[in-house]
Amino acid sequence: MTHDKIAVVDFGGQYAHLIATKIRRLHVLAEIRQPEDPVEAFAPYRGIVLSGSPSLSSFGEDSGYTKAIYDLDVPILGFCFGHQEIAKHYGGTVVHGGREWGPADLHVAREHPLFAGLGRVEPVWMSHFDSVTSVGPEFEELGHTVLGAGGGEHRFAAIGSDRLRRFGFQFHPEVDDTVHGDEMIANFVLGICGCRPTWTMESYVEQEVDALRARVGERSVFLLASGGVDSTVAAKLLARALGPERVHLLHVDNGLMRKDESRQVVALLDELGLGANLTFVDASETFLDALAGVVEPERKRRIIGDTFIEVFEREARRLGLEGHLLAQGTIYPDTIETGGTKRADTIKTHHNRVPVIQEMIAAGRVVEPLAELYKVEVRELGLRLGVPREAIWRHPFPGPGLGVRLLCSTGVEDRAHFDELEPRLAEVARRAGIEALALPIRSVGVKADLRSYEHPVLITSGAPWERLLEVAGTIYGEVPHVNRCLWWTGGGAPGRARPLAATVTRERLELLREADHLVMAALSRHGLYDSIWQCPTVLVPLEIDGRGRELAIVRPVHSERAMTATPARLPAALVEELRHELAALPGVAGLALDLTTKPPGTIEWE
């Protein structure tokens, strides 16, 4: 049947495909369009959504895209950058300023179809540099935001013209942290655009199976099977489309796995009927040799990705499978965080998006059946394909494994921005009545769809959890060069933090492996494993006790699709258990909990 469709114009923001996903979950087909697509390409759609963008600014010169879409007689809704473009196109003003990160309260000005069924104050999620300060004559302010307790107002956070059917949100309704964002999108798609909800996951599976058969033809595929949710579901989908005899699996122990990981992976793939064409390789020495002496996060990611392909090609030659296509369990966040669209910024290079993989994709040698899906959809698909629930709901584990949770350092303090950072931090700490220490290391983050590589701040305070989160939000908003806040769980405040010279070694990996195992066991023991989306344990070569030991950081988060995340509160009893268990490990000085939302901090530290 013919489905009603919505076009999502991808300006390269982190959430463009998330918008499409949210629309598809309303059973309405959403398709990604590029900003330069001719206006005729938008003819089949009942409505248009304009996404955010990391590389374009509505402040200053006009950005280049097909503005003839504004002449179409269909509703248009813009988010963040898209909101600013709509305001500017119809006579409004946009300025470079008023930046906001994280949660805010939207105060709805009046009853309106976009907010049907919602309250007059709604929790929303902000991530922007530019702001709308006025609207054109046919527009009105539909809502403003207030950031945090006692925060200032941000005007024109929601705008609209009912006659023109043009609307804009400065906030991001597509992220799960905008509590009723799904309802706002539904009000636009089903209400204002009048779309019929006829598209389903079943139809997606049928279309993808047909597409895989057409794409692969008579060839076979060779899949790097990590045993994670993505690669496992990809293997099952490929087997359904091509038959298991044409799906060859390679599981590589890269030395960066969790405790007993490879044994569990092989057992799972056997259980799923995929073990007949499974090859297992212990390549840990190869990876550790390649990573020896490497410190910089992006270089580590690229080395891990390149080494995977070296091992893959070596094994393909050994098995006589050189002509096979490479299959990967790539999902959309892997692509968008690696700058996979024209305007997207590279937040971090995923192992399945290193340059050698990009070259293979360009040469038509790669098959990625999940590349348009998010984790929640992959899980839904996996359940439909018969993957056991415990495998489906396993915590996500990064492709580079513990390699991006084992931070490295030359031992030289990174204090380049401290002259500007420390006075501002001291002022925030004084007002909040807490102690805060800027750490002379950096971690990867994301701000307004752009990669940041900035400093964490260690907070020492006995304040309640909600107060700690509030202080962390203030620090992100007011202190430059900071993208992450931690809470020190030990007694007293560390007087100084000094980086230690450290690289990727088998000994450090074993220490991190054991720490990760203790954290996972504790979550299960307290019945929290299923309610927490992901809980990375990070080992940071940072001396805080004068004894040359490292800092362990635990980052429990709630999320749905990994594009945003909020820190998960752990019970005091669990925190105390972890504090003692981790400090008992040789080489660990103590425990800090990561309080950071995403944005401004990515879930993984590197």
What token pair was written down for 67? 């503005």
What token pair was written down for 119? 């309250």
Would strands 588-594 and 550-554 be described as parallel, antiparallel, or unpaired?
parallel
* Nearest alpha-carbon partner for 221 in 367, 358, 356: 367
Would strands 325-327 and 278-282 be described as parallel, antiparallel, or unpaired?
unpaired
Q: 298 burial class (0-12, 13-18, 19+ CB within 10 angstroms)?
A: middle
460 phi and psi angles, rounded to 5 deg? -120, 110
- Return d(Cα 58, Cα 296) in angstroms, integer: 33
Q: Decide if 76 contacts 48 (C-beta within 8 A).
A: yes
Q: Which residue has the tokens 């195992």?
A: 517
- Return d(Cα 444, Cα 451) in angstroms, integer: 7
CB atoms within 10 A of CB 584: 9
- Return d(Cα 547, Cα 541) in angstroms, integer: 12
- Return d(Cα 564, Cα 556) in angstroms, integer: 13
* DSSP SS3 for 241: helix
Would strands 566-567 and 557-558 be described as parallel, antiparallel, or unpaired?
antiparallel
- Return d(Cα 515, Cα 565) in angstroms, integer: 23
* DSSP SS3 for 289: helix
- Return d(Cα 482, Cα 397) in angstroms, integer: 25
Amino acid at 537: T
* Nearest alpha-carbon partner for 369 in 327, 326, 399: 327
Q: Decide if 102 contacts 599 (C-beta within 8 A).
A: yes
Q: How many CA atoms lie within 13 A of 232 on its CB side?
A: 32
- Return d(Cα 430, Cα 433) in angstroms, integer: 5
Q: Decide if 557 contacts 598 (C-beta within 8 A).
A: yes
- Return d(Cα 409, Cα 84) in angstroms, integer: 41
Amino acid at 439: L
Active site residues: 80, 172, 174
Q: Decide if 132 contacts 92 (C-beta within 8 A).
A: yes
Amino acid at 274: L
Q: What is the DSSP string of 243-302?
A: -GGGEEEEEEE-S-PPTTHHHHHHHHHHHTT--TTEEEEE-HHHHHHHHTT---HHHHHH
Alpha helices by DSSP H, listed for 540-599, are 572-583
* Nearest alpha-carbon partner for 125 in 184, 68, 77, 69: 184
Q: Decide if 246 contacts 255 (C-beta within 8 A).
A: no
The DSSP H or E segment spanning 381 is helix 375-384
